[in-house]
Amino acid sequence: MMRKPLIALSSIATVSLLAAGCGSPASTGAATTTKTSTNSTNTSGATTDAKSPIQLTYDYPVGVAGPLAKIMSSMVDQFNQTHPSIHVTPVFSGNYQQTLAKVETAIQGGNPPDVAVLNSTAVYDLLHLQAIAPLDDVVNAGNFYPAFIQPQVNGHYWGVPFQRSTVVLYYNKDMFKKAGLDANHGPNTWSELVSDASAIKSKLGVNGIEIPSDGTTYWTFEPWATEAGQNLGGNDGKHVYFNSQAAKKALNFWLDLSNKYHVMPAGILQWNTVPTDFEQQKTAMITHSSGSMTSILKQSNFNVGVAFLPMETGTQRTGLGGGDMFVMQGISKQKHDAAVTFVQWMTSPAQAAAWTMQTGYIGDSPDVYKQAAMVSYLKQYPQAQVAADQLKYAQPELSTYSLNQVYDVIDSALQSVMDGQASTNSALDKAQKQANSILAQFQ
């Protein structure tokens, strides 16, 4: 029986209303619940007879635009058809924060899903709940990108990379040419970003750039703070650096794009609206998840460039995001083995390549980019290689205990500044104190 240590879940009620970033606002094209068409609801039994398939429940989030729930259901259907001894029921559970809150509640109630895609950064909370089983054999047998599997926590790998992403810069090549800019690359530095955006604004009369700042704002913001010299989080789940000089410099730069250089709309910009503005040529550049790439490429009636985020300190850096597949602790050995089989299949190079081509999420290993279908796809859409190339500069994403509570703190602080309700110093200093208070019990 799974033990159920008590934890504070005060953020659960609030996150259900939140828009989320890379876990951003629950996306379009997703039904509330999706289930495959066959079989009964035998999800509680630890054993099944020889003729009945082992039943698994599988919770997953959708964090970007596009019909991802439909794509996911199709993949699971394919697994079920090729593995008659196992039947997986996929359940769309909202954005990343909503899915984590739902799974944590289910864990507390003793009825968790068997498998779930959750923020890779949720590992500390999941371990605190004694909710997940180590997956060392699966990870060690794969050839996953090192950036996706580090650091180990408590000496084990707990999640297998699945729908991972980085923040990238999308730019309209046609607009760049019309404004007299070099369309072969995006801006390399923050100062180039300002000059390129200013040229676009003055010559074409559209926004130079838009950066989403609602939902899980920390995720789109963290790479800028990292570029300025400091990640938002430490490496132990217990410390954050919300009021570092780097974070304040990055947030002030965001403000300057609106208030000083007038190349970005003022106020909070919506996660779902920013790609639409880009596709409708209301802005020449945006930063967004690489997981939005396939949708953006399909919806844009112009030449789309994809680039690394611009540098500030002369050293290229970026952040990571997205989810891992976790297998829950406390399920029967039959279910555990079936769940591992499912995870191995979903993260295999062939399936990962299919997922990458349909979504834009980064392939989980270099082997994905050697698949024949992927090689052909890259010839048509070389932009899909950019996020994978950016991985060598990736820094760990903010990951702490009481993850949703900590995310609430930094997201609220960033939004209060972008909305003109607080100064950078006061908001980030307050956020640091609040986060320190939340994390004190773990230090």
What would the two tokens of residue 87 be? 């039947």
Spatial CA neighbour of 285 closest among 356, 164, 198: 198
Per-residue tens of pLDDT for the chain, all 443 residues: 333 333 333 333 333 333 333 434 333 333 333 333 333 334 334 444 557 999 999 999 886 556 788 899 999 999 999 999 999 999 998 888 899 999 999 999 999 999 999 999 999 999 999 999 999 999 999 999 999 998 889 999 999 999 999 999 999 999 999 999 999 999 999 999 999 999 999 999 999 999 999 988 999 999 999 999 999 998 899 999 999 999 999 999 999 999 999 999 999 999 999 999 999 999 999 999 998 898 999 999 999 999 999 998 778 888 898 899 999 998 999 999 999 999 999 999 999 999 999 988 999 999 999 999 999 999 999 999 999 999 999 888 999 999 999 999 999 999 999 999 999 999 999 999 999 999 999 99
- At residue 200, the pLDDT reads 97
- At residue 411, the pLDDT reads 97
- At residue 93, the pLDDT reads 87
- Which residues, including other chains, have CB under 8 Å from residue 239's CB and lie 6 or more apart? 233, 439, 443
**What is residue 214's three-state secondary structure?**
coil
Task: For residue 55, list its beta bridge partners.
Answer: 87
Sign of torsion over alpha carbons 283, 285, 287, 293: positive
- At residue 22, the pLDDT reads 42
Q: How far is CA 112 from the centre of its chain?
A: 22
Alpha-carbon gap, residue 207 to 193, rounded angstroms: 12
- At residue 7, the pLDDT reads 37
- At residue 316, the pLDDT reads 85
Spatial CA neighbour of 191 closest among 263, 140, 241, 139: 263
DSSP assignment of 394-411 equals EEPPP--SSHHHHHHHHH
Q: For residue 180, which phi and psi values (nearest 5 degrees)?
A: 80, 20
- Cβ-count burial 250-275 (b if 16+ within 10 Å, e if not): bbbbbbebbeebbbbbeebbbbbebb
DSSP 363: P
Residue 385 near residue 308 (C-beta atoms within 8 A): no
Spatial CA neighbour of 172 closest among 297, 329, 314: 297
Vertex 71 angle, CA 67 and 74, to 5°: 145
pTM for the predicted model, two decimal places: 0.84
- At residue 150, the pLDDT reads 85
- At residue 49, the pLDDT reads 52
- Which residues, including other chains, have CB under 8 Å from residue 152's CB and lie 6 or more apart? none
